[in-house]
Amino acid sequence: MSRAMETSRTVTRRPDFTARALVPLGLFFGLALVFPFLPLGTRAEYLLQIAFFTLVAAILALSWDILARSGQVSLAHAAFYGLGAYGFALLGKVMPWFAAMPLAALIAGLVSLILGAVTLRLSGMYFAIATLAFTEVVRTIIQNLPESVAGGANGLLVPALLGGNARAQYFLAFGVLLFTALVSLAIRRSRLHHAFAAIRQGEETARVLGVSVVRYKLAAFFISSFLAALGGVLFAGKTFFINPLETFSLANSIAPLTTSIFGGLYTTLGPMLGATVLRVAEELLHNSVKNGYLVVYGLVLMLTILWLPRGLMGLLRRGKHGGEL
Amino acid sequence: MELFFQTLLNGLLQSGLYALVASGLALAVGVVGIVNFAHGEFLMIGAFLAWGASAYLGVDPLLSLPLVAVAVFAVGALTYRVSIRHVLLAPELNQMLLTFGLGILLQNLALMLLGGNTRTVTTPYQGSSLSLGDLSVGGPKMIAFGLAVVILAGLYAVLYRTNLGRQMRAVAQNRRGSQLIGIDVDRVYLIAFGVSCGLAAVAGVLVATLLFASPTVGLVFALKAFAIIVMAGLGNLTGVLWASVVLGVSEALVQTYVPGGGGWSDAVFFLLIFATLVFRSFRGAR
């Protein structure tokens, strides 16, 4: 089990970016791209909506994973996702969506630097608790601001993304996920990958080796939160309405974490696969069970930790090492 | 001035409940070395059991309390056997995520089976109040505080006066050393984890009489318990008591003196966590 979270002991190994390793990723995006054009009959609209939220879940999971690669297991993902949603709700009223979207993400990214700086020297459960606390603080602040500013506890109406065109929204989410995956791959290829792995496996050692821990940890925070906020924008622009209790709920921090671990930590494809499987399972269960479908997340998390520590990706390449994507 | 003392009193009474939840958590952290993110869910189970006993069997929560405690002790011990035991030597991250998963599982199972509504328990002493000079205190609050004090006193007596308690403290200090001198570490872990859950359940029964039972009722108490054990220093059992008082009283002060304090008082414990953690991290401790 101790190898569970440290799948990439071979940090010095050059990541082999063979075409073969990219095939599953290409397949995933290919399928996602043609999905809206499949003849799905009467339920097409509903299925497209599920697919949209699957893409958002994948964005959140993958962005969480990027932060986790630097050894920072955060429970504050809901905060940045929520800041993106709120940022877009407020900015979207005064500027076009293509300006509001990156700006909201940028704000979330900058706020994450504050949290990152404060928690730099915390590790393990202290880090987890501090990030959990941070989410609650953000929620409390937004809830207690005057209603004219952020809608208070009642929530806020959000300008619809792309005029509410479901297919256009889907392709926007597709684009954001593609961007997230490219960022993830770029990190995998760059110095960042080695720096993150070194920090994760032993911060002191990394420091001795000359890795500028502070800079890399903050970079991980910024990238991760920026991407998570884009996910928040997509969500808010799709649902027209957000409120603090749901937006900043613990579930929104848990889902990306569970999804990544289930799919396979520190990989690009893993979180995306995990999101697909879990979202579909959730949707199936959602139809039969009204309340408490998050049960799946709890169960999956427990079972993965106990029996499948390398997640779905571990299953896919059982016995093989390297070539991780 | 009267308002001030009333506020202090309210805070103090509240801290009894907090100390009960937090000392259970501190036991799991200190002895077993597991940060139990599902602690609040054991509290929730206790609250629902008390509600069930009262609604269906007509048993007063205070009477069902010992039974609930024993039942949840068993649930906790079982949980230890089937899950926690297997990750004792795993990285801290795995342990954390496991209990996290357990918490989500239990919470949503309750949501699935019982729905999201809050259930209140009616007791004959519900509306009663006691007056101490100019100050007045609600009956249930007073009872809850009294019980918390008695149970905590019992816990400390066990920890410091009995053989089992000494074993627990020995294991907390050094697992391998305890094994070497013949302590059955696994058994001690089992009991400590069970007791930890039992304490949460007792707190849950009290929460059911003071507030209500609902699937999510445990979360906020668990979070506050985290704040308390972080303030006290992980696994420090005596520190838990004063940290609970600090939290209870500062919450009460915010409620009374900050305009619109109801909403902000819930942020107090997060500020306390944040302040403690940051202070600690800059002082060099981890």
Provide the residue-wise pLDDT of chain B in tens; the chain has 286 residues.
Answer: 788 888 888 888 889 999 999 999 999 988 888 889 899 999 999 999 999 998 899 888 888 999 999 999 999 999 999 989 988 888 777 888 899 889 989 998 998 888 878 888 888 777 777 777 777 778 788 888 999 999 999 999 999 999 999 999 999 888 889 989 999 999 999 999 999 999 999 999 999 988 888 888 888 898 889 888 888 887 678 889 989 999 999 888 888 887 766 667 777 777 777 778 777 766 654 4
Q: To probe the interface with A, which of B82, B264, B277 has the most A CB atoms within 10 Å?
A: B277
- Contact yes or no for A45/A166 (Cβ under 8 A): yes
> Contact B277/A129, CB-based, under 8 Å?
yes
pLDDT score recorded for residue B261: 63
Q: Which residues, 6+ apart, have CB-to-CB distance to B282 below 8 Å?
A: A121
Rounded-to-integer distance, Cα B83 and Cα B96, Å? 12
A181-207 pLDDT per residue, tens: 999 999 998 999 999 999 988 888 998
Whether pLDDT at A305 is above 70: yes
Position with higher pLDDT, A86 vs A18: A86
**pLDDT above 60: residue A322:** no
Q: Which of B96, B104, B219 sits opposite A297 (nearest CB)?
A: B104
Q: What confidence score (pLDDT) does residue A307 get?
A: 85
- pLDDT bracket for residue A36 (50, 70, 90): confident
- The verdict on residue A297 lying in a domain is no
Q: For residue A62, is it within any domain?
A: yes
Residues of A in contact with B272 (CB under 8 A): none
> Minimal Cα distance from B92: which residue of A?
A124
Kindly determine whether residue A129 and residue B273, on different chains, have CB atoms separated by under 8 Å: yes
So what's the pLDDT on residue A317? 67
Pair of tokens at residue A92: 């979207």
N-to-C CA span, chain B: 41
Q: How many domains does chain A have?
A: 1
Count Cβ atoms within 10 A of the Cβ of residue B8 and give its class: 0-12 exposed, 13-18 middle, 19 or more buried.
middle
DSSP string, B187-243: HHHHHHHHHHHHHHHHHHHHHHHHS-B-TTHHHHHHHHHHHHHHHH-TT-HHHHHHH
For position A318, what pLDDT does the model report?
59
Phi-psi region of A242 (alpha: psi -120 to 50; beta: other; left: phi over 0): beta
User: Distance between CA atoms of B116 and A295, rounded to whole angstroms?
Assistant: 14
A69 assigned to some structural domain: yes
Distance CA B97, CA A254 (A): 10
Distance CA A112, CA A223 (A): 9
Please give the residue of chain A at the shortest CA–CA distance from B114.
Answer: A291
The pLDDT of residue A76 is above 90: yes
Per-residue pLDDT, averaged over A40-67, amounts to 91
Q: What is the pLDDT of residue A20?
A: 66
A314 in any annotated domain: no
Residue A325's pLDDT is: 46
Res A159: pLDDT: 85
In chain A, % of residues over pLDDT 70 = 90
Is A9 among the domain residues? no
Residues in B closer than 8 angstroms to A121, CB to CB, are: 281-282, 286
Least confident of A50-59, A99-108, B109-118: B109-118
Range 186-245 of B in CB contact (< 8 A) with A: 215, 219, 223, 226-227, 230
Nearest to B43 by CA among B64, B69, B63, B62: B69
Q: Does B285 touch chain A (CB under 8 A)?
A: no
In the three-class reduction of DSSP (H, G, I as helix; E, B as strand; rest coil), residue A322 is classed as: coil
